[in-house]
């Protein structure tokens, strides 16, 4: 991009740090064999 468009001087990226947590389905009487996850930005 920087080579193709001379008017562009800088490119910045902001990428979220997403963690995927396994959802506990046991309160619903269900098993979760690594199929349902919740994405969150907390570590």
Cα dihedral: 27, 33, 36, 42 (round 10): 90
pTM of the model: 0.53
CA distance 3 to 11: 12
Yes or no: say if 26 and 36 are a contact pair by the CB < 8 Å rule. Answer: no
Q: What is the pLDDT along the chain (43 residues), one digit of tens a residue?
A: 889 999 999 999 888 788 999 999 999 999 999 999 999 887 6
- Of 22, 26, 25, 20, the closest CA to residue 34 belongs to 22
CA distance 35 to 39: 13
Alpha helices in the chain (DSSP H): none
């Amino acid at each position: 991009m920087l080579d193709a468009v001379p008017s562009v001087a800088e490119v910045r990226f902001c990428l979220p740090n997403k963690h995927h947590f396994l959802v506990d389905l046991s309160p619903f009487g269900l098993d979760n064999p690594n199929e349902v996850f919740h994405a969150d930005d907390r570590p």
